[in-house]
Structure 1
Amino acid sequence: MRIPALTAAAALLTSLTLALPGGAAAAPAAQHTDSGRFDRPYSAFAPAGTVLRRGTPRTAGLDPAPIDAFESQMAQWEDPAGGANYLFPGATTLMAHDGVVAERAAGGYAVKYADATTELPQDQWVPARTDTIYDLASLSKLFTSIAAMQQLEAGRIDLDTPVAHYLPEFAVNGKAAITIEELLTHTSGFDADPVPSLWQGYPDIPSREKAILDTTPINPPGTTYLYSDLNMLSLQLVLQKVTGKPLDALVRDGITRPLHLTDTGYNPPAAELPRIAATEYETSPPRGMVRGQVHDENAWAMGGVAGHAGVFSTVDDLAVLAQTILNGGTYKGRRILSEHSVRLMEQNFNQAFPGDSHGLGFELDQIWYMGGLSGPQTLGHTGFTGTSLVIDPQSRSFVILLSNRVHPTRNTPSTNPPRRAIGVAMAQAMRVEPPRGGPTWFSGQGGGTTSTLTTGPLTAGTPLDVDFSAFVNTESTDRLYVETSADGGATWQPLALRATGAGAPAGSPTSLSGQGVRAWWQVHAQIPQATGTVQLRWRYTTDPVYEGRGVDLAHLKVTAGRGNLLRAAGLTPAGAWQQLPAAGGPKSAQALGD
């Protein structure tokens, strides 16, 4: 059973105040302004003085329904009785918007198994809590990247400089030209992992560091995007060389200590073990049930401190880090990065590799786990243990999912559905209001489904003009069609559409999608002259893979000269279409057009 942060649980809100680093103030009453709407994205950083404060969806100006639905789905993913829907023993989540922590909850168990197949006695199960400490796995790369940005600001490294300038021994085996930037953007040419693995092939840390330096790339630098742990392992060695300090000291002194992230770091102390989620039962290497030590074997071989893995943390600490990024690199007067550095982390350096957008350290615009929050500036990362962080500067929002999906074994289903779902829930909880106001028709639906919004019979005889406003935030393969039928709905033909507005497609497409676009479009189509009557429908179809926020329609009009024929014909929704009232006003089923 999940411990929610949505209902009036005073004790939970009190615990949030105590748990957020530095304490937290109660959220002020919701201010329903145009700023922060999903369809009016921010371009500037959040005010530097923004501090996280406890609240609810309503105090954050959000619709609680999508967040409640996400909580219900999380409970199913944490329930072994769910069969194929069971994804992880336990998880903790957090959602924040405009500085208000609107959701913070935990469910399932941080520790449940004695070995790969045997459950512990039930009285030894450890429930997941909102302050459970998780192995972040590859989210650790973000800490290494921020440490690198700090050294970039200090002038100790430079993006265009070859790594071999700092580590001459790195130049062997064709690596002389690899730059710092290519390490940070995974375009160095390295294979995904060290081969052989660091723990199998080498007896001690010095020999493992030499193995990293001696690695031979599999592609020429700058020619291929390939996500590789070797990039951050190499960057770790650079940082240690130019500063004379180990990576854990750099992260502590430059990130966790100034931000008061007291639950974040490598090799957590034994005293914190009761709060740490277990990961995998390992037989090779023979580590048994791993808890309190890094799960990743290569990071373990590096003594628990590695550029690619090793950091443990909580949702509260990660929330402060995320808000620091939204604030332009500062939190509570403590600056860890310049605004320029944060902009570099939001900038796509991988335009030569479509679909693999990457800033310095952070992944960008990855709908496969960012869901409805995906956009050109959206930063994030995932971790193998079942973790993810998504930061959306355009809405000043972020979502965090921490789980122990590898407990007791890594052979589990993908954690991507809940990663996407938390992003979709946050996106759908934010307001979208059409130009000139009024009610909207909204469809936000799962993959592999179709929703239709169909008119009654429309009198033809002359060409009919179709006009409407559309907010289309979907995966590129999830399309909105406008179709017409002259045989009572037996067959349908798509209409050519002309859309205008920011990011609108050029030409006369027969369908619309808008991955990453957050703008209303004005859309026009024409039904050719026909005899008798015709029908019109808006059809939104998703493929089985990913989804964005969905589709909103407003100001629907079908005219032949004067008057809106829809007022008489009416509309029949099927599937996920639902009519939403105008902001601040009652639902009106008759308000179809101007």
Structure 2
Amino acid sequence: MADIHGSYDDLFSAVPGALAALLDGGDVGGSVAVFVDGEAVVDVWGGFADAERTVPWQRDTIVNVYSVTKTMTALCALVLADRGELDLDAPVARYWPEFAAAGKEGVLVRHLLAHTAGLPEWDGPVAEIYDWPAATARLAARAPDWEPGSAAGYHSLTQGFLVGEVVRRISGRSPGAFFADEIAGPLGADFHLGLGAEHDGRVALTVPPPSQDEEYAASAPDAPAGTGGTPLRVRDGNSVAWRRAQIPAASGFGNARSVALVQSVMACGGTVGGVRLLSSAGCARAGEEQFDGEDRVLGRPMRWGLGYGLFGSTFGWGGWGGSLVMIEPESRMTVAYVTNQMREPAQDTRGLEVVMSVYDGLKGLRA
């Protein structure tokens, strides 16, 4: 059985067992954290940080969580809304005047968060996603693919630039800087949007699925979108340019502990560890249903809230490669799983397996 490191409440012993089973099944490395009432009841890790399995996964190992990053960017917008600096019902052009081009005058801020803005596909070159002014200018000039608000289609790569530019226009700071100053810093969370070189040695690079190499393309619905007919590949996500860039839909780096800590704010009415980031009403906004129906990009029924997917009484999101965060306000619980090991999306149930391993412990804790 794989060695699992860290700590956990005995009630939650099934969780490290689930992680060990994934590692025994061939995964390279990963970490799992469960927070209840803003406190860690599980914080475990295991395996290796490199494909060659020579560097053990450490307590401070971080990994690209891909689209789990969207939950962090959404939180930035919700914080601004809670402060009264951002009106979710305002046209995006109120904050970003250039965005009104090509028939987008009626796109509201809430449409950006709910994947209903009609701008789901990235149609620029890969190199342009590392250039914030160029990326946002391209999206500002685009015409929507449908009447904004009338349909949903997962904005895989574009949502981060759209929401992030609104955050930047209001705050005067890049999304990464705003997140660091207003969220990660106060909470003491080791999560980064735009990774400095000093952290490179802690990064567990993404390992493609078995039998694949770094040319493996982002073909999954929850993966970064294709670019000009050439999809993003694992080698793009593993590049220095990707780590340094602000790609707020897909280039966040952290571990399970930091993901769960940040998103515990949403599970605990806006306050964690004595740090208040949101009011209870501000947290509740995330779960306000914006769309319920067939998502045009994902090709399946989806319920979208404001920046999060809605799943019964829980909400959250996952990322290309398998990382996931799930928030359950009724139990004041957050579960995060991150990994450097990709699997083919159609066969990847790891996040669900980890989440299900939590519930017996939760019942015992509440007994």
- TM-score of the two chains, using structure 1 as the length reference: 0.52
Amino acid at match of 1:364: L
Shift of 1:329: 0.9
Aligned pair in 2 of structure 1 residues 287, 69: CA closer, same or farther (>3 Å)? closer
Alignment RMSD (CA, Å) = 3.0
- Which one of 165, 170, 174 corresponds to residue 242 of structure 1? 170
Asked whether the 8 Å contact 1:294–1:309 carries over to 2, the reply is no
Determine the structure 2 residue equivalent to 1:358. Answer: 304
Aligned pair in 2 of structure 1 residues 57, 359: CA closer, same or farther (>3 Å)? farther
Determine the structure 1 residue equivalent to 2:43. Answer: 104
Amino acid at match of 1:111: D
Shift of 1:255: 0.4
Asked whether the 8 Å contact 2:114–2:305 carries over to 1, the reply is yes
Matched, 1:166 2:95: yes
- The alignment covers a number of residue pairs equal to 339
Determine the structure 2 residue equivalent to 1:189. Answer: 118
Matched, 1:74 2:22: yes
Q: Give the percent of matched residue pairs that are identical in Structure 1 and Structure 2.
A: 24
Matched, 1:136 2:39: no
Matched, 1:95 2:34: yes
Asked whether the 8 Å contact 2:2–2:47 carries over to 1, the reply is yes
Aligned pair in 2 of structure 1 residues 271, 244: CA closer, same or farther (>3 Å)? closer
Amino acid at match of 2:32: T
Give unmatched runs, 5+ long, in structure 1: 6-11, 14-54, 80-87, 113-119, 366-374, 433-582, 584-594
Shift of 1:287: 9.6
- Which one of 131, 154, 162 corresponds to residue 227 of structure 1? 154
| In 1: Cα distance, 2:143 partner to 2:19 partner | 46
Determine the structure 2 residue equivalent to 1:265. Answer: 192
Determine the structure 1 residue equivalent to 2:127. Answer: 199
Shift of 1:234: 1.3
- Which one of 308, 311, 315 corresponds to residue 249 of structure 2? 308
Q: Which entry has the higher C-alpha Rg, 1 or 2? A: 1
Asked whether the 8 Å contact 1:130–1:315 carries over to 2, the reply is no
| In 2: Cα distance, 1:415 partner to 1:72 partner | 18
Shift of 1:258: 0.9
Shift of 1:74: 1.7
Higher strand share: 1
Asked whether the 8 Å contact 2:16–2:44 carries over to 1, the reply is no
SS at match of 1:155: coil
Asked whether the 8 Å contact 1:137–1:311 carries over to 2, the reply is yes
Aligned pair in 2 of structure 1 residues 292, 415: CA closer, same or farther (>3 Å)? farther
| In 1: Cα distance, 2:260 partner to 2:345 partner | 26
Aligned pair in 2 of structure 1 residues 386, 67: CA closer, same or farther (>3 Å)? closer
Greater relative contact order, per chain length (Cα 8 Å cut-off, separation 6+) = 2
Amino acid at match of 2:10: P
Asked whether the 8 Å contact 1:184–1:232 carries over to 2, the reply is no
Shift of 1:278: 0.8
- TM-score of the two chains, using structure 2 as the length reference: 0.81
Matches within 5 A, 1:185-584: 185-191=114-120, 193-199=121-127, 204-228=131-155, 229-261=157-189, 263-279=190-206, 282=214, 291=238, 293=240, 304-351=245-292, 355-365=301-311, 375-376=312-313, 378-406=314-342, 412-414=344-346, 416-431=348-363
| In 1: Cα distance, 2:279 partner to 2:134 partner | 36
Shift of 1:307: 2.6
Determine the structure 2 residue equivalent to 1:2. Answer: 2
| In 1: Cα distance, 2:19 partner to 2:131 partner | 45
Determine the structure 1 residue equivalent to 2:84. Answer: 155
Shift of 1:259: 0.8
Aligned pair in 2 of structure 1 residues 249, 89: CA closer, same or farther (>3 Å)? same
Amino acid at match of 1:110: A
Give unmatched runs, 5+ long, in structure 2: 208-212, 216-229, 296-300
| In 1: Cα distance, 2:235 partner to 2:304 partner | 36
Higher helix share: 2
352-361 or 152-161, larger mean C-alpha shift: 352-361
Shift of 1:380: 0.9
| In 2: Cα distance, 1:204 partner to 1:254 partner | 24
CA offset digits 1:550-580 (Å, max 9, x no partner): xxxxxxxxxxxxxxxxxxxxxxxxxxxxxxx
Determine the structure 2 residue equivalent to 1:551. Answer: none
SS at match of 2:330: coil
Asked whether the 8 Å contact 2:192–2:254 carries over to 1, the reply is yes
SS at match of 2:86: coil
CA offset digits 1:130-151 (Å, max 9, x no partner): 4311112112111211111122
Asked whether the 8 Å contact 2:114–2:290 carries over to 1, the reply is yes
Amino acid at match of 1:363: G
Amino acid at match of 2:141: D
Shift of 1:96: 3.5
Aligned pair in 2 of structure 1 residues 184, 289: CA closer, same or farther (>3 Å)? closer
SS at match of 1:233: helix
Amino acid at match of 1:425: S
Aligned pair in 2 of structure 1 residues 294, 341: CA closer, same or farther (>3 Å)? farther
Aligned pair in 2 of structure 1 residues 289, 358: CA closer, same or farther (>3 Å)? closer
| In 2: Cα distance, 1:239 partner to 1:359 partner | 18
Shift of 1:351: 4.1
Determine the structure 1 residue equivalent to 2:210. Answer: none
Aligned pair in 2 of structure 1 residues 322, 2: CA closer, same or farther (>3 Å)? farther
Asked whether the 8 Å contact 1:91–1:128 carries over to 2, the reply is yes
| In 2: Cα distance, 1:97 partner to 1:252 partner | 23
Shift of 1:362: 1.5
Asked whether the 8 Å contact 1:388–1:419 carries over to 2, the reply is yes
Shift of 1:286: 10
Amino acid at match of 2:79: Q
